[in-house]
Amino acid sequence: MGLRKRIAQAPSAARAQMSEVTASTRTRLTAARKRARELKDEWQERRYRRNHPSTAQDPQIKDAEDSFYQAAKSVVGHISAIEHAQRELSSEMPTREDLSTGSVREERRMYRDSIRQSTSDARREFPFLREQFVTTIKPSSIREVVLQSNAMVDSIDLYLRNRFDGQFHPEDALTRLHAAMFDQCPPGSSEGDDGPADTGSAPSDSELTDAQAADETPSDGEPAAPVLLARRMRDPEYRRHQHSLVYVDRLAPINQLVDALRSEQGEWMPYVAPTYGGIEARILAVFRDPGPRTQQDKGSGFLSLENDDPSAERHLGFVTDAGISPTDLTVWNAYPWYINRNPASGEIDRGLDPLRRLIDLLPDLEVLIAHGGAAQTAWRRFERKHPRIANRLEVIKTYHTSQQALWTPDVEERQRRQADIAHAYAKAAALLD
């Protein structure tokens, strides 16, 4: 029987009470829809600002600054790819026996080719970036944007001429450039008759970290929907702040599972970062194994979108571009303990029970994204072992976000692989709507 018919047939007192309940429900539903629209608008704004940081009031100046930032970001992306390949080549020197196998030789050749290609791309794009600075930024932008743009150009120039002293990395210059462009006139502020004012120096890294940490953590200690920054885990203060939130409500069950797995197996594995949705997540992204930057001594100690490595930075980009909130997402690995290599068949089997224990903690889980061959192999075995759990999830298979998985000499194929990951996250976002 419908609600209206039940109300019509009920006594007058009951009708009044049921009408109040109905009105209260409608009010809550309206408020929830309004909040959902507000959150969607906020995420669209953050997604836009990621590649369009300029808040200059003059449309031509804004377009010029956004174009310069995007060009700088592209060059810095090539530099990041160079450093990733260099780290992989130097992380473990192969023995003579290793080199006798074709797979090791091919892998090292791939990294050397990646260095050559990325260096060539960066050197090809840099002159256009420098010309943009001279012709569009220097004559028209405010002082702080000009200073940070000039620092951006100088930093890349030193790096490409092998004179980088380690003090001012191009990635740091890009972060400060973003801050300078955004802070010149924050959205929603008003200007005087004299036009945009010089805002002075851009905020320091420590000031930015403290302010954003305060914004992200309400007084009860539970993280709110976070604003994530690529490679932010390189900041020691921010890492310490994240470790203080390991056992907040929505993350506690998952990181307690991590503690249990460490204890049971006697092997180390990283925590899941507090910026994820934890047990409230609706999407689970499964990768191969924890990378070097998840290590406690060499990295953050977390699985995190903000880790200081290109793979995490790409993952953050795909998540942001799809409009997915980090609080709707949790990550895991087919082999969750740290090994930094492709897991063997038996190791993939060993990772199935931890994966089941994790999924048991996620009552709202709807979508699983399997990144790369190891994760997809693990999921096929999981489906055979736990069909009732697997059948309730929508599974999307795509590439790993690492340079190793995405790189190929064929430019069109590289673009196709990246588009495949972007499509996977767009599909996941659509399934949540």
Task: Quote the CA–CA distance of 96 and 100 in Å, as a whole number.
Answer: 6
What is the SS3 string spanning 267-331? CCCCEECCCCCHHHCCEEEEECCCCHHHCCCCCCCEECCCCCCHHHHHHHHHHHHCCCCHHHEEE
Chain-wide mean pLDDT for the chain? Answer: 82
For tokens 């994790």, name the residue: 358
Average pLDDT (391-416) is 91
Would you say 161 and 178 are in contact if contact means Cβ atoms under 8 Å apart? Answer: no
| Per-residue confidence band for 418, with pLDDT thresholds at 50, 70 and 90 | very high
- Write the DSSP assignment of 114-162 as a string of letters: HHHHHHHHHHHHHHHHHHHIIIIIHHHS-HHHHHHHHHHHHHHHHHHTT
Task: Quote the CA–CA distance of 48 and 67 in Å, as a whole number.
Answer: 13
How would you class 104 by CB atoms within 10 Å of its CB: exposed for 0-12, middle for 13-18, buried for 19 or more?
middle
Q: What digits encode the pLDDT tens for the residues 297-347?
A: 889 999 999 999 989 999 999 999 999 999 999 999 999 999 989 999 999
Instruction: Encode 3-22: b = buried (16+ Cβ within 10 Å), e = exposed.
Output: eeeebeeeeeeeeeeeeeee
Average pLDDT (252-267) is 95
- Length of the chain in terms of residues written: 433
Q: What digits encode the pLDDT tens for the residues 128-150?
A: 999 999 999 999 999 889 988 98
- Cα–Cα distances in Å, from 187 out to 54, 58, 103, 203? 10, 13, 52, 17
Predicted TM-score (pTM) of this structure: 0.54
Give residue 357's Cα distance to chain centre: 24
Give the residue with greater pLDDT, 185 vs 271: 271
- At residue 193, does pLDDT exceed 90? no
Tell me which residue of 94, 46, 72 sits closest to 212, measured CA to CA: 46
> Which residues are within 8 A (CB) of 84 and not within 5 positions of it... i.e. 6 or more apart?
114, 309, 310, 311, 403
For tokens 């600054």, name the residue: 65
For tokens 């880790």, name the residue: 307
